[in-house]
Structure 1
């Protein structure tokens, strides 16, 4: 496992649709391991393979209780409800913006052993799955902003959150 460099939003690899992984072998498992290690080191809530310059359909998403999901060839098979919230991106460091996403999703893909899995997620985890699958399709969160005026420095947003909590 190794920590990989995360490409920033200007890199053309982030606008390219990733290719399906033909089979889950040692190199695919190493890719998942590198994604996990890189995501936790960043730290982030998810990471797609093209964010580290690998044009293959592989993602990791941090779930509840510090678990993570690592998927090859993930697909969104069901999306219900709506949530609007701020999200950021490891490829767009220091910025957040308001994005509308489905509240609940079902995602299918292959696990690190090549076995089919289906994952039901809601709330923040559902948001993270949608965000990472978008990356695999060449879509950035800034493409889905509810309005350009919602894009702002993360520090400013975090300050406002702290003020509300006080």
Structure 2
């Protein structure tokens, strides 16, 4: 396994739709998943899409620690191949997001409250899940990478976009 270089905003691989994976069980896909797993752990992120590591395939890995999940249960490392998202509850919820491809930056991003996801796992088996709250946000963020979209493109107020440290100071100053 290897730690892969993460593409940063501005790299063309992040701006194009990713290609579907023809065979989820192919050795090169298995190797990519292993390398992405090691890269995600090293970067301490919640999710990673193949385009972020310079591979234009529709592959996502994500995890949701219990402390970051709305239900407190979390979600283990999960592989999504050729995922398709469908909005189930379009009610917009705006929360702060960050991204391994935009190091040091954060922004307030409105996203639908709940989604349904259909995908293949690493063995090529089809599955479906429903997610709401932060889980839905993580899925939407990672799947956006597969369509060449970065979270600033979803923002409606660029005044709420900036460097993490500066935003934290500003938010702390606004607290009573």
TM-score by length of 1: 0.91
1:30-50 per-residue CA deviation (whole Å, 9 max, x = no partner) reads 212222221121111111100
Q: Aligned pair 1:130/2:140, yes or no?
A: yes
Structure 1: how far apart are the matches of 2:79 and 2:172? 32
Aligned positions of 1:147-158 closer than 5 A: 147-158=157-168
Between Structure 1 and Structure 2, how many residues are aligned? 166
1:59-74 to 2 correspondences below 5 Å:
59-65=60-66, 67-74=76-83
Q: What is residue 11 of structure 1 aligned with on the other side? A: 11
Residue ranges of structure 2 left out of the alignment (5+ in a row): 67-74
Q: CA deviation at 1:162?
A: 6.0
The match for 2:72 is none
Root-mean-square deviation (CA, aligned residues, Å) is 1.9
- TM alignment of 1:15-164, pairs within 5 A: 15-25=15-25, 26-65=27-66, 67-80=76-89, 81-159=91-169
Evaluate the alpha carbon distance shift between residue 111 and residue 92 of structure 1 in structure 2; reply closer, same or farther with a 3 A threshold.
Answer: same
- Offset, 1:128: 0.9
Asked if the contact 1:61/1:125 (under 8 Å) is kept, the reply is: no
Asked whether the equivalents of residues 87 and 112 of structure 2 are also in contact (C-alpha less than 8 Å), the reply is no
CA shift digits 1:14-73 (9 cap, x unpaired): 001100000112221221222222112111111110000000000011124361221110
Q: Is the 8 A contact 2:85 2:117 kept in 1?
A: yes
